[in-house]
């Protein structure tokens, strides 16, 4: 029983960076309605830039983190400009009750394909920029654990978890209390209504993109500073973990992301203990598949109810 609780506690502490990535994806997918498959590649390229500045120019850890966050935002602007700048929201604004991953029209599908192409472009750019497999990153990890009763905790992961919880709460409060946050929530419901109310839709989009990418950059720094290195698989890792947390927690729920991250962390911790690294990866893919099936089922149920009401 003690070992089970220890694994559960370790999984909960893993949820910190997962939640930050999931929150960034929630803002992009759920609030801005951007199916941005280049989200992970954006983080990868920014991490490679930070590693290069650290190794080549000896930039200190704080400077590296700021460079990673800034690069993530700039690359996010590039993706927004290439893929989403001229997208016609008139059709999608009439389907706000449907699932964001379903009922895509032809133009939305082409935009998603464009983001996939940018994913490949950014990933190839990062690999050509830094050809080696392993790249050093400022290491903040601690190898000594803190005892809490009969349990053992890693201080770095505990700090990241607390920081993530505070940051997610602050973002949720900002979205509900500030005028800009209200504008973003209105934008997620209806672009047309937001324009009629006199809101600057273009400005709100870039504010949302900035916040989403900045959270992704902060999460990247948190993860890489505990690992001390970055590999070409980091981009896929970011997209997979973030999408799983966001779907479990609900793409329209900021606070739900933390719950999704905790479930993912605990499941991975127990899966790795029982079946090793491959079991951990299989558990992640299994949760993602289950979340996608649940989202699709909810969409089908709502669609059938609307069709039934129209027939009546």
Q: Is the pLDDT of residue 95 over 70?
A: no
Name the band, by pLDDT with cuts 50, 70 and 90, for residue 312.
Answer: low
Name residues whose C-beta falls within 8 Å of residue 75's C-beta, 6 or more positions apart in sequence.
Answer: 42, 45, 46, 122, 213
**Separation CA 171–CA 132 (nearest Å):** 37
**Separation CA 112–CA 114 (nearest Å):** 5
| 108-154 tens-digit pLDDT | 778 888 899 999 999 999 999 988 889 999 988 766 777 777 788 88
Rounded mean pLDDT of 34-42? 91
Name the band, by pLDDT with cuts 50, 70 and 90, for residue 94.
Answer: very low
Q: Does some domain include residue 143?
A: no
Q: Does some domain include residue 155?
A: no
Q: Does some domain include residue 270?
A: yes
pLDDT of residue 98: 44
Name the domain count of the chain. Answer: 1
pLDDT of residue 93: 43
pLDDT of residue 237: 95
Q: Does some domain include residue 154?
A: no
| 200-238 tens-digit pLDDT | 888 888 899 999 999 999 999 999 998 899 999 999 999
Rg (CA), the chain: 20
Name the band, by pLDDT with cuts 50, 70 and 90, for residue 297.
Answer: low
Q: Does some domain include residue 140?
A: no
Residue ranges making up the domain that contains 214: 2-135+162-306
Q: Tell if the pTM clears 0.75, that is, is over it.
A: yes
Q: Does some domain include residue 175?
A: yes
Q: Is the pLDDT of residue 294 over 90?
A: no
More confident residue, 129 or 251: 129
**Separation CA 280–CA 272 (nearest Å):** 5
Q: Does some domain include residue 311?
A: no
Name the band, by pLDDT with cuts 50, 70 and 90, for residue 304.
Answer: low
Q: Does some domain include residue 157?
A: no
Residue 28 · residue 257 · CB < 8 Å: no
**Separation CA 36–CA 34 (nearest Å):** 5
Count how many Cα atoms sit within 13 Å of the Cα of residue 42 in the half-sphere of its side chain: 32
Bridge partners (DSSP) of residue 146 are: 153
**Separation CA 285–CA 106 (nearest Å):** 28
More confident residue, 104 or 67: 67
Joined together, the tokens standing for residue 308 give: 């039934």
Q: Where are the beta strands (DSSP E) in the chain?
A: 135-136, 146-148, 151-153, 229-230
Residue 247 sits in a domain whose CATH number is 1.10.3470
Rounded mean pLDDT of 237-242? 94
More confident residue, 192 or 211: 211
Of the chain, the end-to-end C-alpha distance in Å amounts to 55
Rounded mean pLDDT of 29-51? 90
pLDDT of residue 55: 93
């Amino acid at each position: 029983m003690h070992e089970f609780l220890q694994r559960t506690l370790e999984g909960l502490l893993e949820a910190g960076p997962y939640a930050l990535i999931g929150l960034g994806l929630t803002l992009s997918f759920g609030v801005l309605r951007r199916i941005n498959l280049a989200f992970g590649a954006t983080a990868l390229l920014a991490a490679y830039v930070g590693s290069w500045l650290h190794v080549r120019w000896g930039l200190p850890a704080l400077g590296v983190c700021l460079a990673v966050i800034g690069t993530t935002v700039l690359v996010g602007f590039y993706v927004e400009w290439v893929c989403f700048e001229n997208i016609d929201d008139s059709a999608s604004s009439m389907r706000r009750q449907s699932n964001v991953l379903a009922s895509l029209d032809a133009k939305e599908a082409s935009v998603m394909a464009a983001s996939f192409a940018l994913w490949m472009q950014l990933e190839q750019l990062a690999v050509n920029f830094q050809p080696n497999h392993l790249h050093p990153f400022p290491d903040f990890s601690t190898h000594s654990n803190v005892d809490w009763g009969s349990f053992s905790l890693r201080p770095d992961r505990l700090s990241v978890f607390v920081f993530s919880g505070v940051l997610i709460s602050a973002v949720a409060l900002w979205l509900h209390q500030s005028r800009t946050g209200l504008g973003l929530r209105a934008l997620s419901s209806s672009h047309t209504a937001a324009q009629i109310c006199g809101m600057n839709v273009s400005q709100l989009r870039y504010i949302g993109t900035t916040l989403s990418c900045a959270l992704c950059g902060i999460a990247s720094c948190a993860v890489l500073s505990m690992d001390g290195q970055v590999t070409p698989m980091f981009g896929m890792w970011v997209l997979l973990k973030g999408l799983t947390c966001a779907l479990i927690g609900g793409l329209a729920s900021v606070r739900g992301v933390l719950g999704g991250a905790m479930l993912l962390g605990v499941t991975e911790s127990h899966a790795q203990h029982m079946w090793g690294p491959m079991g951990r990866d299989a558990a992640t893919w299994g949760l993602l598949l289950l979340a996608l099936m649940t989202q699709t089922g909810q969409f089908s149920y709502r669609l059938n109810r609307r069709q039934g009401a129209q027939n009546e």
